[in-house]
Homo-oligomer: A and B are copies of this chain.
């Protein structure tokens, strides 16, 4: 796209700005259709972002985008139009704000609810340094459910600084926004705004301005000017409504489905679909089964369950911590809760997993989707830490299926499992057979008399190991291949029975604290050698998942080389 200068945005007539919006919308639509990315949220916020650039003076002023997936117009207006076609590609620009990418990105985001805290911190630093600029947080109504936002609001008067919070209210948090806060916001959009709704925010120290149509520049620009003026004296909450997917009928009608768009239709199956199918079957036979999600019913595959078992299905909004405690307590009350969540968002529940679920040894099952390298969304969305942050928690069993069939088998086995269980899996995979399995037992996939054994966990690594096995066999090398489908507890009986001296481990996780460390710990003191492959100690940026995986540690050739060198020694 052509470069749009700040002066163009500052000086254009409103009618020219409206044309610019169409230009931006077209660029976003085209780029997302080729690169993938967040479509509906970006189509909805074109005018809002343009108004910010019209009224404020970036990068002197600072804007923090909550979650950050709605930053495309901001990128297009801040000198990145010419590289926008590299969106989400390895080495290209990120789909999220990133400090190292541009001085216009003052604070990186990816997870929900951080923007108000971040804006407060930046504003407070400004005050302490005696500087003078405006700080803005752009927050969706979905994040208004999140506890972190509330903690930040509670802090406004303590910190005694000034920020502008723009509530971008589109009624969605991937799934439609739910809960008490949402009902309050909805009332505020009605013909008669209850006085107490406004006072609620005023009590926290925010002057309330709203509600304005965030897709109508004629209404929005004066409102933004008014907010800027008010911000000279106090913190401001500017409440605007926008329409997710605006300008693209397909997206307007299906905002949840077009929230995240993949560039290439895949032949592969979704683990999420299997989750929905299995949970429905299990729930028919077992009244104790309930399902919980934090605003991601569809992408986690829970839609069928929500439709068939309405009273036992809970979308609690973007409240990962609460979701975990709720599951713990329902389990304490005799139910059998399944909490489906993306690996990266499970991080938000870490304390509750330790303190509430595993600390009380309660039978909650975590269905951890998007585990391992996920690819194009980058650092904040890779699921490469879960084995590490779960492995040391007492009472927890960690399962890693090799394919969707095994995932189904694990779910079925979970029904009568009376302790905390985490099953982690990637988005997509192959179907595979559903064979009964025993908790904590590995599976020998290929057995030879060689002195080398490879332990692999998860579909990516099992696939990789099989490829390597083929190549190795062509070279006259052989190894035993074990599906290490339980990272905790390890299959001690099998590990002890194996005679092999040379051990290779493969995992779709950072190396520190994962499967490799666990197996090496098991064999410590024995005359065996363990070489582990997984990701090195770094945040993994955006790019194609397979390519990143190889680059950051699961390098086929290096693994093969290790096997060759073991063979030479053995």
Please list the residues of chain A having a beta carbon within 8 angstroms of any beta carbon in chain B.
64, 99, 106-108, 110-111, 114, 117-126, 128-129, 145-159, 178-184, 194-197, 199-200, 203-205, 287, 290, 311-312, 314-317, 319, 321-322, 325-335, 347-348, 350-352, 354-356, 358-360, 379-380, 385, 388-389, 391-395, 510-513, 517-518, 520-521, 524-525, 529-532, 537-539
Q: How far is the CA of A196 from the CA of B124 in the complex (A)?
A: 30
Determine whether the beta carbon of B388 is less than 8 Å from that of A118. Answer: no
Q: Please name all residues of chain B whose beta carbon is closer than 8 Å to the beta carbon of A152 when the two chains form the complex.
A: 322, 325-326
CB proximity of A158 to chain B, nearest CB, Å: 5
Q: Please name all residues of chain B whose beta carbon is closer than 8 Å to the beta carbon of A108 when the two chains form the complex.
A: 356, 359-360
14 CB < 8 A contacts A-B = A110-B355, A114-B356, A121-B327, A121-B333, A125-B330, A125-B335, A148-B322, A154-B181, A158-B315, A359-B380, A389-B389, A392-B510, A394-B537, A512-B521
Determine whether the beta carbon of A319 is less than 8 Å from that of B154. Answer: yes
Q: Please name all residues of chain B whose beta carbon is closer than 8 Å to the beta carbon of A322 when the two chains form the complex.
A: 117, 148, 151-152, 154-155
Top-10 shortest CB links A-B: A147-B147, A121-B329, A125-B333, A196-B196, A151-B322, A117-B325, A151-B319, A392-B512, A350-B350, A154-B179
Q: Please name all residues of chain B whose beta carbon is closer than 8 Å to the beta carbon of A539 when the two chains form the complex.
A: 358-359, 394-395
Determine whether the beta carbon of A151 is less than 8 Å from that of B157. Answer: no
Q: Please name all residues of chain B whose beta carbon is closer than 8 Å to the beta carbon of A119 when the two chains form the complex.
A: 329
Q: Please name all residues of chain B whose beta carbon is closer than 8 Å to the beta carbon of A395 when the two chains form the complex.
A: 539
Contact status of A147 and B148, CB under 8 A, knowing A200-B196, A329-B107? yes
From B117, B200, B391, contact of A326 by CB (8 A):
B117
Q: How far is the CA of A145 from the CA of B152 in the complex (A)?
A: 10
Determine whether the beta carbon of B158 is less than 8 Å from that of A147. Answer: no
Q: How far is the CA of A153 from the CA of B178 in the complex (A)?
A: 12
When C-beta atoms are compared, the residue in chain B nearest to A325 turns out to be: B117
Q: How far is the CA of A529 from the CA of B205 in the complex (A)?
A: 60
From B64, B196, B316, contact of A158 by CB (8 A):
B316
CB proximity of A530 to chain B, nearest CB, Å: 6
Q: How far is the CA of A296 from the CA of B319 in the complex (A)?
A: 25
Q: Please name all residues of chain B whose beta carbon is closer than 8 Å to the beta carbon of A126 when the two chains form the complex.
A: 333
Determine whether the beta carbon of B329 is less than 8 Å from that of A120. Answer: yes
Q: How far is the CA of A120 from the CA of B148 in the complex (A)?
A: 20
When C-beta atoms are compared, the residue in chain B nearest to A184 turns out to be: B203
CB proximity of A513 to chain B, nearest CB, Å: 4
Contact status of A333 and B117, CB under 8 A, knowing A180-B154, A351-B350, A355-B347? no
Determine whether the beta carbon of B352 is less than 8 Å from that of A114. Answer: yes
When C-beta atoms are compared, the residue in chain B nearest to A349 turns out to be: B351
6 extra interface residue pairs, beta carbon distance < 8 Å, beyond A110-B359, A394-B538: A108-B360, A122-B330, A155-B314, A196-B200, A355-B380, A394-B539
Determine whether the beta carbon of A121 is less than 8 Å from that of B517. Answer: no
Determine whether the beta carbon of B513 is less than 8 Å from that of A124. Answer: no
Determine whether the beta carbon of B120 is less than 8 Å from that of A326. Answer: yes
When C-beta atoms are compared, the residue in chain B nearest to A378 turns out to be: B359
CB proximity of A351 to chain B, nearest CB, Å: 4
Q: How far is the CA of A114 from the CA of B335 in the complex (A)?
A: 18
Q: How far is the CA of A317 from the CA of B311 in the complex (A)?
A: 36
Q: Please name all residues of chain B whose beta carbon is closer than 8 Å to the beta carbon of A392 when the two chains form the complex.
A: 385, 388-389, 510, 512-513, 537
Q: Please name all residues of chain B whose beta carbon is closer than 8 Å to the beta carbon of A159 when the two chains form the complex.
A: 314, 316, 326
Determine whether the beta carbon of A355 is less than 8 Å from that of B111. Answer: yes
Determine whether the beta carbon of B196 is less than 8 Å from that of A151. Answer: no
Q: Please name all residues of chain B whose beta carbon is closer than 8 Å to the beta carbon of A196 when the two chains form the complex.
A: 195-196, 199-200, 203
From B106, B321, B388, contact of A332 by CB (8 A):
B106
Determine whether the beta carbon of A351 is less than 8 Å from that of B347. Answer: yes
Determine whether the beta carbon of A121 is less than 8 Å from that of B325. Answer: yes
Q: How far is the CA of A380 from the CA of B148 in the complex (A)?
A: 22
Determine whether the beta carbon of B146 is less than 8 Å from that of A151. Answer: yes
Q: How far is the CA of A157 from the CA of B178 in the complex (A)?
A: 9
Q: Please name all residues of chain B whose beta carbon is closer than 8 Å to the beta carbon of A117 when the two chains form the complex.
A: 321-322, 325-326, 329
From B121, B205, B538, contact of A328 by CB (8 A):
B121
Determine whether the beta carbon of B316 is less than 8 Å from that of A129. Answer: no
Q: How far is the CA of A352 from the CA of B114 in the complex (A)?
A: 9
Contact status of A155 and B107, CB under 8 A, knowing A330-B121, A333-B122, A538-B394? no
Determine whether the beta carbon of B178 is less than 8 Å from that of A158. Answer: yes
Q: How far is the CA of A327 from the CA of B155 in the complex (A)?
A: 13
Q: Please name all residues of chain B whose beta carbon is closer than 8 Å to the beta carbon of A183 when the two chains form the complex.
A: 157, 203
Q: Please name all residues of chain B whose beta carbon is closer than 8 Å to the beta carbon of A180 when the two chains form the complex.
A: 153-157, 203-205
Q: How far is the CA of A322 from the CA of B153 in the complex (A)?
A: 10
From B118, B203, B350, B356, contact of A329 by CB (8 A):
B118
Q: Please name all residues of chain B whose beta carbon is closer than 8 Å to the beta carbon of A511 when the two chains form the complex.
A: 521
Contact status of A317 and B520, CB under 8 A, knowing A117-B322, A119-B329, A333-B121? no
Contact status of A151 and B158, CB under 8 A, knowing A121-B328, A333-B129, A392-B385? no
Q: Please name all residues of chain B whose beta carbon is closer than 8 Å to the beta carbon of A389 when the two chains form the complex.
A: 350, 389, 392
Determine whether the beta carbon of A99 is less than 8 Å from that of B151. Answer: no
When C-beta atoms are compared, the residue in chain B nearest to A379 turns out to be: B359
Determine whether the beta carbon of A179 is less than 8 Å from that of B200. Answer: no
Q: How far is the CA of A393 from the CA of B325 in the complex (A)?
A: 25
